[in-house]
Structure 1
């Protein structure tokens, strides 16, 4: 999976204060089917692996720790060296004037800039 670029713009919406707004389009049966397939896939993998793979065994806490370690290492390897230079290069290749690019060091800074109107949009890297 490759990283991409996304744009954030200020939008006035009554629902924007509701944290759970992203769940609204999803029905309960979709959540249940997704959870069932997740559990089913886990059971199938476990049943195929636990007898023949000695490294698959061990206490559940150890296995969970291994999963998180692998996820963290994978994310670190994927993002190696892809920071603010990536976004700047993409914008310059798209024809943006470099004098109009303003760097922000934190999400709080670009939230403040969007709210006070000093910028019309914030473009940043979308991880995976």
Structure 2
């Protein structure tokens, strides 16, 4: 089935931008963002030279922690972290965000340009009387009437590809049609010639024409808007890697901080002992005075 792109878009709802991901996946991303933000905040506060971005009242610190994971995805060039372990956690988070963004874009794009409903269900979404066209003398008319239960009063016959284009451009309100049904070679030729205005939607019905056997519907090789949204289990491996990397960064930062503290303490102790020994030996600047 071939339809004008703008008519395909009218079947979409205003919340379609939320549909590429399921609710559980959106919630998982939100929770992961909070976890990463708090972890980065802790790492930055533990830094030897505390990051001024994370200083101030508790309310401001919490807002910065929640904002950092989002802002670094949108503005990666900003340098909001100084701790090397914060940068490590942030790098893993950005990789996760990039993969999720690519999957979201691909899913949303396919939802906007493809439909997998059966024709009758699809036309019902147009909220207006529909007219469908077919090639004159083709078996397609019988198929539409007998198999898809179309009313003959809503079918119009055409002879050439140019007539298809004119009928589609007019639309049913102006004496044209809402969609064209034909065999794949003719459909592909129509799209090849006028592809910028029209798109192929819906399932493909196999018939005896061109060597095909009638066997109902086969799905188009694309992701459809009626297929299930992407779910959290599809990305569970990425979230586990992000969680492990974040915990690893926190642990390594704590070990590094304690080791540095002990090293500084040992150096101070050695310095004090050295001064005491020099004083006892009479070589201390204090003793000379």
TM-score range, shorter chain: 0.3 to 0.5
Of the two structures, which has the highest relative contact order with CA contacts closer than 8 Å and spacing of 6 or more?
Answer: 1
For normalisation by structure 1, the TM-score amounts to 0.37
Relative to the length of structure 2, the TM-score reads: 0.18
In our comparison, the structure showing a higher alpha carbon Rg is 2
